Amino acid sequence: LERVTIPVLHRWKQEGRRIVMTTAYDAVTARIADPIVDVLLVGDSVGNVCLGFDNTLPVSIGMMNHHLEAVVRTTPRALLIADLPFLSFQLSVEQTLRNAGGFLKRGAAAVKLEGGYARCVEMVEALVSCGIPVMGHLGLTPQSVNLTGGFKVQGRTASDALRILDEACRMQDAGCFALLLEGIPAELAARVTDSLAIPTIGIGAGPSCSGQVLVFHDVLGLVSGHRPKFVRTYLDGFTSLQAALSRWATDVRDGAFPGPQECYALPDDIGNAIAN
Ligand code: KIV
Ligand code: NA
C-alpha cells in the first residue's frame, strides 16, 4: 500500500480518484482503519465519541496529544491529520504555532482547523510559512455551536452560501492543502469544489466533493442515540459487540468459560505432587 502524502492527494484530485478519510482516536481504531482509508484524522470529535462530552468544546491540546500519540505508535501509512481543538489556534500566532508544531513533532503530517474568517486566514498563513500543512474546515463548524445554536446545515441562504465560497477561496489562497466541507447543501459543495484547485473532503456535503469523511464510530454503528442524516452505517457495531460480550458473560455464569484449552496445566508429576 502506498504511503499517502499531500502531493499524492493532489495527484488523486487531478485524476478524479475520490479520497477516503475517517477518524482514529487510539491504536485500535488506527490499526483497523489504516489499511482501508487514505487519510486518518485524530478528530476533536474524540470529545463526544470517546470521552462522553456533549460537544467538542472541552477538548484540550493535552487530550489531543494523548490520542495522537496512541495513533502514531501504530505507524499509519495513511496521511495523519490532527485537529486543533477549540482555543488552541485563536489566541496568538505564537501559541498556534506551538500547538500545531507540537502535533507535527509527535508524528502528525498535517493539522486541521475550523473557520474561514480573517483570523483563521492569518493563522493558516503563519502555519504554512513554517512548514505546517493545514486542512481548513468550513460550513458546519462544531466548535461554533454556541454561535449557531445547534449543529445546523450552513450556507442555505444566498449570502451565507457566497460567504462560504469566499472563505473557501481565501483559505486556499492562505495555503490550505485541502478543505473539509461539513453540513452544507450538495450544490454549494459542488460549486466550492469546482472553484478550487485543492481537494475538498465532504461530510454531509453531497457527492461532488473530492473525497468523503465519516467518523469511524458512525460508519460502524458504535454510537447509540441520535444519528445525523448524512451518516450511512455499515455495521450495527453497538448491538454486535454487546451480543458477543453477552455470550461470554453467559459462559462465565454457566461455568462454560474457561474450558481446558483456555487453561494452563502443570506437568503431570507436579500435578500429582500438589494433589496430595
Ligand atoms: O473531529 C472530527 O471528527 C471532524 C469531522 C468533520 C470528521 O472534524
Ligand atoms: Na473536528
Class in CATH terms, 6-235: alpha beta
Global confidence as pTM: 0.96
3-state secondary structure the chain: CCCCCHHHHHHHHHHCCCEEEEECCCHHHHHHHCCCCCEEEECCCHHHHCCCCCCCCCCCHHHHHHHHHHHHCCCCCCEEEEECCCCCCCCCHHHHHHHHHHHHHHCCCEEEEECCCHHHHHHHHHHHHCCCCEEEEEECCHHHHHHHCCCCCCCCCHHHHHHHHHHHHHHHHHCCCEEEEECCCHHHHHHHHHHCCCCEEEECCCCCCCEEEECHHHHCCCCCCCCCCCCCCCCCHHHHHHHHHHHHHHHHHHCCCCCHHHCCCCCHHHHHHHHC
For 220-246, what is each residue's pLDDT tens digit? Answer: 999 987 889 999 999 999 999 999 999
pLDDT of residue 272: 85
pLDDT of residue 147: 93
Looking at the CA of residue 21, tell me the nearest atom of ligand 1.
7
The boundaries of every CATH 3.20.20.60 domain in the chain are 6-235
For 175-230, what is each residue's pLDDT tens digit? Answer: 999 999 999 999 999 999 999 999 999 999 999 999 999 999 999 999 987 889 99
Instruction: State which residues of the chain have pLDDT below 50.
Output: none
For 55-64, what is each residue's pLDDT tens digit? Answer: 999 999 999 9
Going from the Cα of 243 to the center of ligand 2, the distance in angstroms, rounded, reads: 31
pLDDT of residue 225: 79
**182 a catalytic residue:** yes
Going from the Cα of 44 to the center of ligand 1, the distance in angstroms, rounded, reads: 7
Does the C-beta of 133 come closer than 6 Å to ligand 1?
no
pLDDT of residue 226: 81
Looking at the CA of residue 56, tell me the nearest atom of ligand 1.
1
Q: Which residues are annotated binding-site positions for Mg(2+)? A: 44, 83, 114
Catalytic residue (one of 2, 122, 182, 262): 182
Average predicted confidence (pLDDT) for the chain: 97
